[in-house]
Amino acid sequence: MTGLSLDHQKCTGCELCSLACSTRFEPRGFNRRMSAIRLRVVGIMDADVPVTCMQCEDAPCAAACPEGAFYWVPSTGALAIDAEKCTQCGNCIPACPYGTIYLHQDRPVPIKCDLCDGNPLCVSYCVPGAITLSPVATWPEQLRTDYFQVLKATGGSGK
Amino acid sequence: MSDGYAGKILTVNLTSGTSRSVETSAELKSHFLGGCGFGAKLLYDTVPAKADPLGPENAVVLTTGPVTGTLLPSSAMTAATTKSPLTGTFFRSVMGGVFGSELKQAGFDALLITGASSAPVYLLIDDGTVEVKPADTLWGADTFATQLRLKEHLGSAEFQVAAIGPAGEKLVRYAAIISGTRALGRGGLGAVLGAKKLKAIAVRGSQTVAVNNPAAVIANGRSLMEKLAANPQSAKAFPTYGSTASPASYSAAGLFGTRNWQTEVFEGAEAISAEANAKLGKHVRTRACSSCVIRSSHIWRAGEGPYAGLYNEGPEYETLWSLGAMCGNSSFDAVLAAERLCDEYGIDTISAGVCIGFGMECFEKGLITARETGGVDLRYGNADAVVRMIHQIGRREGFGDWLAEGTREMARRIGGASADFAMHAKGLEFAGHSARAIKSMAVGYATSNRGGSHQDTRPAPERSGKFGTGFDGKAKLAKECQDMTTIGDASVFCRRLTECGYGSFLNHEIAETLSLVTGQTYTVESLREISERIYAMEKLFNAREGFRREADTLPKRFLTEPIPEGPRQGSVIPPEELTRMLDEYYELRGWDKATSLPTRQTLNRLGLGLYAPAAA
């Protein structure tokens, strides 16, 4: 199972990941609120934390979907949403423990990271190298512990 | 419309607590581009002549430009204009961060704030919803606490907050507006908001920044990023330590204003520069504004000693220069502490440091004594006094109440010969770029519509050595720099992006970017015309206030006291050379040499004929 590795210690908070990601959902231009990866800042300057879907094996979002619209894409290992099946009930959004599924008024389907067909745009725009394509299980232990701690501090740990 | 613009201009009247929005007209877009261009036009049309900068008639215009909020690098900027309480002139200031993107995504190209509230308020803009809300409980809070408390109160960190601190509330004439760690720093915008009792603006937006040719803009952004990666400044120097590395090289080159420009070599330059402090483990991490790959912002922490535990984003070159060299202060940690306080109180670090440095010279020369300074030994090198004075400025306590007025007013109060070495143009304290060594800066400072600003004419071209050290051709150089910086502030692009990605002068590359975003066909010529129009509009604002050629000058120190030592020893700007450069400059702009005002013919050429009577 693959996913994105997020090193908040390398992140500068530039949001180019968000801006680039939004071009996959918005053909007309750029929109940080129409993006599957977003920046959370701790305090005024204490940490810049990029957050996106962890592609959980036992995904709570998929479990919360009454339509069974979530499916695994074999080629990328990403958990995706089938637009045909999605009824926009919104159950998946609070179900995500990291708060990384989003609704936008101009989109028919919730916005969630699907790893861009295996070659994520955010990775290619991340100049400081904070985002890499590798599963959460392979993160260095310390990074993982720290990361989820800051995630919690920014109010994104759900329950 | 997919032309890069949000499409609406929001006007808020704080006297009545009402707001309305109008469409951004096609004419405004094509004539003034955006950002500071919109700001110049809206300010002129809104603020009556001779308005009190701290009265309800003054306005603050926060603007975005066509590139704001796009994927183009370093494009998440906010430009602000107002009538400055420090200078009495037109003023523009620009900041990074992400506030501009948020305002644009909320649907606004410009936010025009007029009137004044009787009680503290904050402005809430949540997409199209606009409300003026009470801020009694925030009044008195520092800028960082205000931002965090408002976000918490609003229940979402998605809101971007621009706030004033105690200094803005106390009408410090160079109080800043702070958002995140970024500042609309110069010219007293914070005091104007303070006078309006507007503590903060919280904005959140979810709308798309639609551009004319998205695929081409993405490709253009990519090629800009490649250029930045190939430029040693943007690829190596700025990401490593930002401009914090610069004091040492400026001083070594002999153009590092020290102790109120009594010299331009500072013995403490190495001690306050990045290298020495990074070696001591004080560099914490690197940050960037939204959409920026240059990442020139750095967090530093203090070492052992009185400031242990303290950290801040910065200080960068200008602050190290003003709170360091200008005050003869070679303690990096004291500069860091003073800067953090400036950010929290909401104070421009450049003016603050220059005012303190000026006070120190007056103190050492006996023009003021411990009686005026409240017992503080205000001598050069007294690092603790620098930090203490920031508190006093922010609260307008003791001598800080004088310092809070700026060097021009301080000199008026102190009297004697102090005006000869009050280092400002039109009331705005100079930044850390030598007018004596860099001749284009001399004419640039003298002609800037906002006073002693280093953001109109830029020091880099002449410093590169390509234009020599003499006076010839410097008026043209100054003007051509201004052509580019004005378009940069209208677009709105970060200065570091334009300089590292496009260069110091208007060129086809920036015209192409703007064309792809807007769908208009821009050329170097058409951009120059827009730039000249914006600059003339600013000049007309000053003309209406009564500023004429006499105001375009430099303090006596730069005109009569040569740099006493170092590689640039002997450099000075003799009055006759300044006169000659100014004559040349006005001619290049099509401005009248006697008055310095745009001629009727020039105004007609720029489509500003309607404004001709104001310049008569």
B124 SS3 class? strand
Cross-chain residue pair A16–B291, CB shorter than 8 Å? yes
pTM: 0.98
Residues of A in contact with B70 (CB under 8 A): 19, 29-30
* Span B53-65, average pLDDT: 98
Strands (E), B29-148: 60-63, 78-83, 90-95, 110-114, 121-126, 129-134
Band of pLDDT at residue A1, cut at 50, 70 and 90: low
DSSP per residue, B337-398: HHHHHHHHHTB-HHHHHHHHHHHHHHHHTTSS-HHHHTT----TT-HHHHHHHHHHHHHT-T
Does pLDDT of B328 surpass 90?
A: yes
Distance CA B541, CA B564 (A): 38
* Span A82-97, average pLDDT: 95
B426 SS3 class? coil
Specify the pLDDT at position A153: 78
Helix (H) or strand (E) holding B609: none
Residue holding tokens 């490649």?
B226
Q: Of B64, B156, B208, which to mutate for an interface test with A (greatest number of A Cβ within 10 Å)?
A: B208
Specify the pLDDT at position A159: 35
* Span B281-290, average pLDDT: 98
Does pLDDT of A57 surpass 80?
A: yes
Specify the pLDDT at position A141: 87
CB pairs under 8 A between A and B: 96
CA nearest to B208 within chain A: A31
Distance CA B269, CA B118 (A): 47
B248 SS3 class? helix
End-to-end, the C-alpha distance of chain A in Å comes to 24
Is any Cβ of chain A less than 8 angstroms from the Cβ of B205? yes
B65 SS3 class? coil
Band of pLDDT at residue B612, cut at 50, 70 and 90: confident
Q: Which residues pair with B79 in a beta bridge?
A: B63, B94
Q: Looking at the complex, report in whole angstroms how far the Cα of residue B468 sits from the nearest Cα belonging to chain A.
A: 37
Distance CA B476, CA B588 (A): 7
pLDDT (tens digit per residue) in B443-470? 999 999 999 999 999 999 999 999 999 9
**Tokens read off for A83:** 């637009």
DSSP per residue, chain A: ---EEE-TTT-----HHHHHHHTTT-TTEE-TTS-SSEEEEETTTTEEEEE-----TT-HHHHH-TT--EEEETTTTEEEE-TTT-----THHHH-TT---B--TT-SS-B---GGGGS-HHHHH-TT--EEE--GGGS-HHHHHHHHHHHHHTT-S--
Q: Looking at the complex, report in whole angstroms how far the Cα of residue B562 sits from the nearest Cα belonging to chain A.
A: 43
Distance CA B345, CA B335 (A): 15
Minimal Cβ distance to B287: which of A31, A48, A155: A48
Distance CA B190, CA B197 (A): 10
pLDDT (tens digit per residue) in A127-159? 999 999 987 778 888 888 888 888 877 766 543
Q: Looking at the complex, report in whole angstroms how far the Cα of residue B305 sits from the nearest Cα belonging to chain A.
A: 22
Residues of A in contact with B346 (CB under 8 A): none
Closest C-alpha among B301, B305, B304 to residue B285: B301
Does pLDDT of B355 surpass 70?
A: yes
Is any Cβ of chain A less than 8 angstroms from the Cβ of B249? no
Minimal Cβ distance to B209: which of A12, A31, A104: A31
Specify the pLDDT at position A2: 78
Specify the pLDDT at position B615: 64
**Tokens read off for B359:** 């006070």
Q: What's at A58, amino acid-wise?
A: D
Distance CA B57, CA A19 (A): 39
Does pLDDT of B33 surpass 50?
A: yes
Cross-chain residue pair B287–A27, CB shorter than 8 Å? no
Average pLDDT, chain B: 97
* Span B291-315, average pLDDT: 97
